[in-house]
Structure 1
């Protein structure tokens, strides 16, 4: 339903473009188009000021997310400090992160601007959760986050300051935590359905956040930074970092071989992962082949550092255990690098074959069903859910008393993020066309524009519509055609064209895309005569209706847009 109209006109013509729209839109990147059309203004690389139109879309996304978190997620909203003390991040071994904005206060105490809040929320909730009876519990916030990106790019898609919804769950058992994880994924499905733009969810790598299970939410788009693999048989969708694949025929690689060294958790076994040099090594797949028995702290250490950590006296090194993991694409004729140890016993070698430890590629066989072939799709990530387990609660001493009266039980956690400002940028990117933005009505800055030159008629039409979702204020220098073009460029779903020619009828030009079924046609068939409602053009689609019936017709048309 359209909301009651208020007297304040929200969009000020001072933020509207002064150049010709065709010149603005043609060949313009989405982030630049945001600025040209008065949605936002970049102040520095990775930093933006939100202007009236952009802020309206941003707030609509926030509203959708907040409503679903409250109603379907049974979550409570909080708001944490943006400054987080160093000692918390040292407990979780994340203070060394290169993307943290760090600062000192007058007393030389060190803080960071939070890019995410696992440390702070765990510490906070630990003061309130004492018993298993206090859980399960989910809290969330919608706040600005900060990441010191060396090369911000994509405008809102990868900035240094961004608006994010981050939620955190606390549970007494792993089973309870998994139930919350599954529930939150259902909530996310509803959020993205409310936004109307088609999306896909994909199993993903947990990355630096940690945990053992995660799911991402994406918009498919050729300009995206991520790659998803989708099986054409079982339809399993995974981030390329999480996707297992196999070649049509194994053992065909006769070229050079690369090796990645790792150590078991007790440092008593040197693990040698061998794979084709022309393929990208997949750390996650490799670790899974040895059941996770790998010291992950050495992931980025480099081969020389791993070998240095494995060094021991000569009378011990020859008895050390060696495990060779061979990617299934290799064979005995492949060109392997020299083995780094000169003293060893062959009996201490173990070997794993027929495993896949490289990043999946288009056309390979799906590792899930082993029947279908993988299709690669570029995408934009807009949401991520994690089952964290005790990754943070153990480090931060988040304990409670369980059902067995054990007062040292460790909380099970999950975290769930949605990039609010990133969503605005992503939706703009995937829906824009040659005319400009083409927002779904769920996040459009305005649902309707009134385009005309007669201010008296414009005000009369605005009163008939009776909503704050109406754009009526245009730069007075713009003619009727330019106003319609501007409305279309801004992505307003409906443009109501007012003039003396058809009065008291007005024309409705459809700019929005129909994301749902054409349910309006059924109502058109039954109401056409009663509303004196006509379709006067199909390309572009235009309707003609008396102004007295305008509000109802607008509601019918917006339902699909």
Structure 2
């Protein structure tokens, strides 16, 4: 067989097809188990995997898509940073005490962590090279391994302790420039996810521990996801739960138990009492918005007892009586709601103020969109696969990343950071596209685009392989001597290879095709109609095949036009 075509030399494929090919077995397996039994990865311990040849091919295709767009549209330069990051950098940013860091000490008693993200390292590195406004704007990225000491790794590649990530970082002169870079990178991400050929949504999000004021997440919508995104059917804004603002269909109607969370203003001289329905979850972003950000965010996770203790500290009874109190009422509450007791025994009502009709809790499906105040929210479970952040000066100020302006003054760089879970994408794509026959990769990331299957017709197989030489590095030839033709075809379908070419003496000189990957458009139908007679191209249209819901579409074509038909089909995927 001609060099360049990939034969079935991987014994894990043989082992799988001899033991686990039954449809019921496929349907019952988790996606991680399916990837493992098909020979894409091998899990060694909880949260850790080895990448096998099939998985590595898919992984490398995802990397290539990302690199192409990052360098063409994101105008970014690729780097590769050390995985070991010194303690001093993380102490500068206050993140060394993060419980998810893998920490280690060398023979010189110096402390390091295995980097879970690289804001510290990249800011320190670029700060040593950036000196003038002429060096900006600058964007760098890398694709490499990251480490997070997850307490409960789950979902295999979806939440591991070691993972592959594309992380990019931008440096600009002004906030306006940095926001333009943020917007441009989101446009680049749109192109990356379009190239992956899996439907996605982008949602406004909370920046979380990374920091910053602007943030977007990228999600695959799927019922198995751990996240929730909400879309307005009016303005079509999409947000995650932490960032979504909503109102109930009818305000002031809740009559059940009321929960209260205590907070302090930034000066810690005003007690803030946040009242909301006990059956809902308080949303800290909405609290900050209601109080115009005059809230001590460092106490967001503090207990009520701790907040009251801080409020009472160094205050006499008279001081407490004259202290300011702000009561904030969620708009769902009514006069019939069951409020808890007030925590202060002595106070002056004249020092009280109250905010009514604000929304303080996580949004739910069916509520009114807080952005347009007209549309209704629809919620969907989803899998997060990417995240972008506008950071401002959060890290550059702490790590002294500065430049000299045109006016010869010193200025701190404005930053952004942008991540894509590369190994997570393998699992997420597999999860949202799989069916009862196994994996069903889109053409863009399938380990092979074409498989060649035959009974024992080696010379016919050689002729067909020669006609497909355009895809010789992306064609997989199953020559397992122990498998019959049916088993070879089933193996191709379970591996998710988009086009299976079936060669046999009975139908020769015609060749059968079975298509697994769903089409992106239906332009191929016009070609099939135009060339049906000349190419001997017939298609089984007895059902709505070729759609997401149908696992296989069958074609027959004369061998002399196999290349033409395969080219049309692959272009449309």
Q: Taking structure 1 as the reference length, what is the TM-score of the superposition?
A: 0.96
Contact 1:247 1:364 in 2 (8 A): yes
Q: List alignment gaps of at least 5 residues for structure 2.
A: 544-551
Aligned match of 2:570: 558
Aligned match of 2:430: 428
Q: CA–CA distance in 2 between the matches of 1:105 and 1:342? A: 56
Q: CA–CA distance in 1 between the matches of 2:328 and 2:413? A: 36
Q: CA–CA distance in 1 between the matches of 2:434 and 2:188? A: 27
Equivalent residue for 1:458, pick from 461, 464, 468: 461
Equivalent residue for 2:511, pick from 506, 511, 514: 506
Structure 1 position 339, deviation (Å): 2.1
**2:409 paired with 1:397:** no
Aligned match of 2:560: 548
Structure 1 position 6, deviation (Å): 4.6
SS of 2:407's partner is coil
Aligned match of 2:299: 298
With 529-538 and 21-30 compared, the bigger mean Cα shift is at 529-538
* Structure 1 residues 442-457: aligned runs within 5 Å: 442-454=444-456, 455-457=458-460
Q: List alignment gaps of at least 5 residues for structure 1.
A: none
Equivalent residue for 1:336, pick from 327, 334, 339: 339
Structure 1 position 544, deviation (Å): 1.9
* Structure 1 residues 219-368: aligned runs within 5 Å: 219-310=220-311, 311-314=313-316, 315-368=318-371
Equivalent residue for 1:479, pick from 484, 499, 514: 484
Q: CA–CA distance in 1 between the matches of 2:110 and 2:221? A: 44
Aligned match of 1:21: 21
Q: CA–CA distance in 1 between the matches of 2:481 and 2:228? A: 46
Equivalent residue for 2:529, pick from 512, 525, 531: 525
Q: Deviations over 1:61-91 (max 9, x none)?
A: 0000110000010000000111111111111
Q: CA–CA distance in 1 between the matches of 2:142 and 2:380? A: 32
Q: CA–CA distance in 2 between the matches of 1:322 and 1:10? A: 74
Structure 1 position 10, deviation (Å): 6.3
Structure 1 position 26, deviation (Å): 2.8
Structure 1 position 337, deviation (Å): 1.8
With 415-424 and 395-404 compared, the bigger mean Cα shift is at 395-404
Q: CA–CA distance in 2 between the matches of 1:252 and 1:474? A: 69
Contact 2:5 2:474 in 1 (8 A): no
| C-alpha RMSD over aligned residues | 1.5
Contact 1:168 1:413 in 2 (8 A): yes
Aligned match of 1:411: 413
Contact 1:170 1:411 in 2 (8 A): yes
Distance 1:313 1:33, change over 3 A: same
SS of 1:468's partner is helix
Distance 1:187 1:11, change over 3 A: farther
Q: CA–CA distance in 1 between the matches of 2:541 and 2:336? A: 68
Aligned match of 1:377: 380
Contact 1:537 1:543 in 2 (8 A): no
Contact 2:7 2:477 in 1 (8 A): no
Aligned match of 1:490: 495
With 245-254 and 118-127 compared, the bigger mean Cα shift is at 245-254
Q: CA–CA distance in 2 between the matches of 1:81 and 1:321? A: 51
Structure 1 position 393, deviation (Å): 1.1
Structure 1 position 52, deviation (Å): 0.9
Q: CA–CA distance in 2 between the matches of 1:538 and 1:441? A: 24
With 459-468 and 156-165 compared, the bigger mean Cα shift is at 459-468
SS of 2:382's partner is strand
Q: Deviations over 1:224-263 (max 9, x none)?
A: 0001111122211110111111111111122211111222
Q: Deviations over 1:172-212 (max 9, x none)?
A: 10000000000001001000111111111110111111101
Contact 1:10 1:52 in 2 (8 A): no
Contact 1:508 1:544 in 2 (8 A): yes
Aligned length: 555
Q: CA–CA distance in 2 between the matches of 1:309 and 1:132? A: 45
SS of 1:529's partner is helix
Contact 1:13 1:474 in 2 (8 A): no
Contact 2:5 2:475 in 1 (8 A): no
Contact 2:5 2:477 in 1 (8 A): no
